[in-house]
Chains A and B, each alone.
Chain A
Amino acid sequence: MRFSRYLAILISLVMAVALVGAAWAQEAESGQGEEPQQEVAGAESDGQGAEAPSPAQQMLESLPDITEIATQASQEQIGQGQPRLEEQVVYSVSPWNGREYKGTFAPRQVDTIYLMANEYSILNVQRTQVYFWPITNEYMADWFGLREEVPGTLEILRDGQVIDTLERTEYSYYFPSGIGREQRLYLGEEAVRVYEDYRNRLNAYYDAVSAYYEAHREWQRQMDEILREVQETGQYKDPSEIPEPPKQPTPPTDFAYSPRTAFAVNLPEGRYQVRLRGPDGEIVPDTTKTLEVFDSRRQGVGYLVIPEHKWTRSFQTNDPSDILYLDGRRVFYIVPHHAREFNFYQYVKMANLHKPLEGEGTRSVWTWAQFEPITQAKLQVLHNGEVIEEIALKPYYVRQTPGYALGYNIVEFDPENDPLLQGRSPTFEAYRVELEGDKSYQLRFVDDAGNVLIGSAREVRPIKSPGNAVYAIPLFPFAVGLVVFGWRRATARVGKGEEA
């Protein structure tokens, strides 16, 4: 998928931020840095109060928006001079899909915008250059070439009546455990606060890195000293006299986007209209669109099931009516998450407005979308309606073991007791289920208050293989037929048959 490719670019951008920061600190400390960097370093060390932004901040604030990442036309495409180039007023849309914010935009040619009900999504009205790329059947924009916010207020209409008017607000995406994992949206002052908090920690980290190299150099000097002393005196030092090396600071594991402004839309299920009213009081041309806000058909809990014997062959079960069948295998891991079932067409259209063909012809299809992972709940194992075990979420590590039959071994991730795991991170966090015997069980998740999570129950049944004996069952009607035939022959005959 294109988006994941851009996501990778984004991640590398963020890593570049950290690396550049670290390199800069190192060079600054070593004194071999070039002039401009020295100057920047000066500005930075001059104090936090200074207006000039740090390089980290510059980097953060020049990051493109999600929509821009997803729909930016490449330079070579633009260079080819597409005939369908057109300057347009478009809606750029970052819809929430349950796990993350996606990026798309609705060009003039697309009439309907799809959003998930009761969740915040980001809408913006911007002027840009739009290209149609017939080979892949998609619209792309040259955001880097032209991106101009169209001023105004967003009117939301239902049945022709304006029901809400929105002003642009600041928003920031926040990733508490780094990009690619949980994503949150902050609005207004909170967005600014979250971002500034992150930026300050990032700056503090750079400072800590500078301090680290400083301390490291000092430690190196002390060590050289000690070494020389030892060489000169020929006397070894007591280990307690040898100074500890300084600890390397750890970078922040979270990430926050610098705030931008756009319309944050959160509506109940229904069909609406949106339009932008400019500062002059007129509706901005090409900004009237249908807004289809859809809700899920069902809610539930999805399981990612990781079989112990084939841990890379994990599979997903979302439907509560699914039954987990076991044939000989009794150990597996469950990674649960909330799930909601949506109409496939609406769900796909929502994030692919710029691809008119995407999802066409799928109005009759339904799909389960993953929502946030479940981490706080307990997994209950029931047998004959009685809870026989309660399992908690734990981290696990897959260790390659050459001698072992499977070629690997899944162990609980416990670096304190297992020195081999130190410095590593767990492969996955899951609920480990080990079942005994040929019995049937029921699994379900309960929250802290003991309430069963809706749609979280699954039946587990060991399957029996009766072999060819199973083909004996269908012969039953045949046997009945024979009996009836015999009885009929005995009571009703053809030809001569005297009866009392």
Chain B
Amino acid sequence: MIETVRLTKKFGDLTAVDSLNLHVEKGEIYGFLGPNGAGKTTTIMMILGLLPPTEGEVRLFGKRISEDYFNIKRRIGVLAEVQYLYEEMTALEYLRFFGQLYQVENVDQRIKETLGRVNLYDRRNELLKGYSRGMKQKLGLARALLHDPELLLLDEPVSALDPYGIKEVRDILLEENAKGKTILISSHILSEVERICHRVGIMNKGRLLAEDTMAELRRRLTEEVELTLELEEEREEVVAALRELPFVVGVSSNGKQITVKTRADQDYRGQVSATVSRHGGVVIDLRRHEMSLEEAFVTITEKNLSLLTKEGPAA
């Protein structure tokens, strides 16, 4: 459905998206994860053809968008990160306009259905300038669903919603997916997507760091623990010795600070500390970072990113 080939976008010196190869298969719900500024929105805009890529190309339904512009656009539903509405219109007028634009049959019936699904039908005759942020986001979703698209691109679709709203949207998406829709959801809150995504891609600084099924991701989260040590002074041999330990998965150091990833089957803090002392190091601080599911589900940040991917945190 979506395929990007070495997709790159540079804003001056900044590479917002770096050689991205993304595959989203038909019928799946793909979670597109990454901390702020990872390049998610930039990627989605390039997929839609609203931002010209610096390099690489995008294929939708197996075609480049320019090959069949209007038909491709008609098969996509988009909910953007920020809702830009015509404030002087009512919800009904707004959806009617998009219904006509996408040539939806039985528009009024369809509007009633979609607006009903996001619980806004009662407020259809209100001007949009009076809508709350969450209402606007729900209306945006209604707009994205209105023409019954095969592919939904949702950029942080629940960022403004309350828990009840989030559940509502989740249900709608599952329902749509059950009807065969392909969905791409971008988010930096794992919990939003965790329960419904078949696959997730994790992005940071423009690069796709990991692409996995949800089950695999969860396994990794529960199998590894991160320890952060602070030594009195920098010592090369300590790092080398830590790498030799059988339960250590990865080590990275930054001067006096050392990050050690261990297996999660037991608490290895004592052994790590002992190893350091053995090689003449003095531990002045030692912390255990267990990426609890809760923590990860609240938000993905640059800091805890390394727990989700095989690589350590980028230097």
A residues sitting closer than 8 Å to B (CB atoms) are 491-499
A492 to B126, CA, bound (A): 5
Q: A interface, by DSSP: helix, strand, loop or mixed? A: loop
**Considering the complex, which residues of chain B in the window 92-130 have a beta carbon less than 8 Å from any beta carbon of chain A?**
93, 122-127, 129-130
User: Which residues on the B side are within 8 Å of A498 (C-beta)?
Assistant: 122
A496–B130 alpha-carbon span in the complex (Å): 9
- Alpha-carbon gap, A493 to B128, bound state (A): 9
Asked if B90 is an interface residue, CB under 8 A from chain A, the answer is yes
User: Looking at the complex, which one of B123, B125, B129 makes contact with A491 (CB distance below 8 Å)?
Assistant: B125
Chain B residue contacts of A499, Cβ below 8 A: 122, 124-125
Q: In the complex, are the beta carbons of A493 and B127 less than 8 A apart?
A: yes
Complex: chain A residue closest to B126, CB-CB: A497
CB distance from A276 to the nearest CB of B (A): 71
* Minimum CB–CB distance for B163 against chain A, Å: 23
Chosen A-B contacts, 24 in total, with CB atoms closer than 8 Å, are A491-B125, A492-B90, A492-B93, A492-B125, A492-B126, A492-B127, A493-B125, A493-B126, A493-B127, A493-B130, A494-B126, A494-B127, A494-B129, A494-B130, A495-B126, A495-B130, A496-B126, A497-B123, A497-B125, A497-B126, A498-B122, A499-B122, A499-B124, A499-B125
* Alpha-carbon distance between A495 and B90 when the two chains are bound, in angstroms: 11
CB-defined contacts of A494 to chain B, threshold 8 Å = 126-127, 129-130
Q: Which residue of A lies closest to B89 (CB)?
A: A492
A496 contacts which chain B residues (CB < 8 A)?
Answer: 126
**Given A493-B125, A495-B126, A499-B124, 16 more pairs with CB closer than 8 A:** A491-B125, A492-B90, A492-B93, A492-B125, A492-B126, A493-B126, A493-B127, A493-B130, A494-B127, A494-B130, A495-B130, A496-B126, A497-B125, A498-B122, A499-B122, A499-B125
Q: How far is the CA of A497 from the CA of B126 in the complex (A)?
A: 7
For A492, give the chain B residue with the smallest CB separation: B90
A65–B118 Cα distance when bound, in Å, is 100
Please, how many residues of chain B have a CB less than 8 angstroms from a CB on the other chain?
Answer: 10
CB under 8 Å from chain A, chain B span 109-166 = 122-127, 129-130
Q: How far is the CA of A492 from the CA of B124 in the complex (A)?
A: 9
The distance in angstroms between the C-alpha atoms of A492 and B123, with both chains bound, is 10
Residue of B nearest to A497 (CB): B126
Interface centre among B122, B126, B129 (most CB of A within 10 A): B126
**Given the complex, which residues of A lie within 8 Å of B122, measured CB to CB?**
498-499
Chain A hits for B127, CB < 8 A: 492-494
Q: Looking across the interface, which residue of chain B has its beta carbon closest to that of A494?
A: B130
Instruction: List A contacts of B90 (CB < 8 A).
Output: 492
Q: Point out the residues of chain A lying under 8 angstroms from B130, CB to CB.
A: 493-495
Chain B residues with CB below 8 A from A491, complex form = 125
| CB nearest neighbor in A for B87 | A494
Closest 3 CB pairs of A and B: A494-B130, A495-B130, A492-B90
Q: How far is the CA of A239 from the CA of B47 in the complex (A)?
A: 127
B127's nearest neighbour on chain A, judged by CB, is A494
Report Cα–Cα, A499/B93, bound state, in Å.
15
Q: How far does the Cβ of B118 sit from chain A's closest Cβ, in whole Å?
A: 17
Query: How many Å from the CB of B139 to the closest CB on chain A?
Result: 15
For B60-100 the 0/1 string (1 means CB < 8 A from A) is: 00000000000000000000000000000010010000000
- Complex formed: what's the CA distance from A446 to B122 in Å? 77
Q: A492 to B93: give the CA distance in the assembly, Å.
A: 10
In the complex, the chain B residue whose C-beta lies closest to that of A498 is B122
Nearest chain B CB to A496's CB is how many angstroms away?
8
A488: shortest Cβ distance to chain B, in Å?
Answer: 9
With A and B bound together, what is the CA distance between A499 and B90 in angstroms? Answer: 13
Give A414 Cβ to nearest chain B Cβ, in Å.
78
Q: How far is the CA of A80 from the CA of B119 in the complex (A)?
A: 103
Distance (Å) between the CB of A431 and the closest chain B CB?
Answer: 64
> Within the assembled complex, what's the spacing in Å between the Cα atoms of A436 and B3?
87
B195 shortest CB reach to chain A, Å: 34
Q: Which residues of B contact A492 (CB under 8 A)?
A: 90, 93, 125-127
Complex contacts, B93 vs chain A, CB 8 Å: 492
* Bound Cα distance A497, B90 (Å): 11
Complex: how many Å from CA A499 to CA B127?
13
A497 proximity list for chain B (CB < 8 A) = 123, 125-126
Please give me the residue from chain B that is nearest to A499 by CB atom.
Answer: B125
Residues in chain A near residue B124, CB distance under 8 A: 499
A401 to B124, CA, bound (A): 85
Give the Cβ gap from A61 to chain B, nearest Cβ, in Å.
90
B126 CB to nearest A CB, Å: 5
Question: How far apart sit A494 and B130, CA to CA, in the bound complex (Å)?
Answer: 5
Q: A496 vs B127: C-alpha distance in the bound complex, in angstroms?
A: 10
CA distance A497 to B129 in the complex (A): 13
Q: How far is the CA of A492 from the CA of B96 in the complex (A)?
A: 15
B259 to chain A, nearest CB (A): 52
In the bound complex, how far is the Cα of B125 from the Cα of A495, in angstroms? Answer: 10
Residue of B nearest to A493 (CB): B126
Q: Which residue of A lies closest to B124 (CB)?
A: A499
CA distance A492 to B92 in the complex (A): 10
Question: Which of B93, B127, B129 has the largest number of chain A CB atoms within 10 A?
Answer: B127
- A residues in contact with B123, CB < 8 Å: 497
- B126 / chain A contacts, CB cutoff of 8 Å: 492-497
Bound-complex Cα distance A497 to B123 (A)? 7
CB distance from A487 to the nearest CB of B (A): 13
Q: In the assembled complex, how far is the CB of residue A299 from the closest CB belonging to chain B, in whole angstroms?
A: 56
Nearest CB of chain B from residue A141's CB, rounded to whole Å: 74
Bound CA–CA A494/B127 (angstroms): 5
Minimal beta-carbon separation of B184 from chain A (angstroms): 34
CB distance from B116 to the nearest CB of A (A): 14
* Bound CA span A499–B130, Å: 16
- B:187-236 near A, CB below 8 Å: none
Distance in angstroms between the alpha carbons of A32 and B93 in the assembled complex: 114
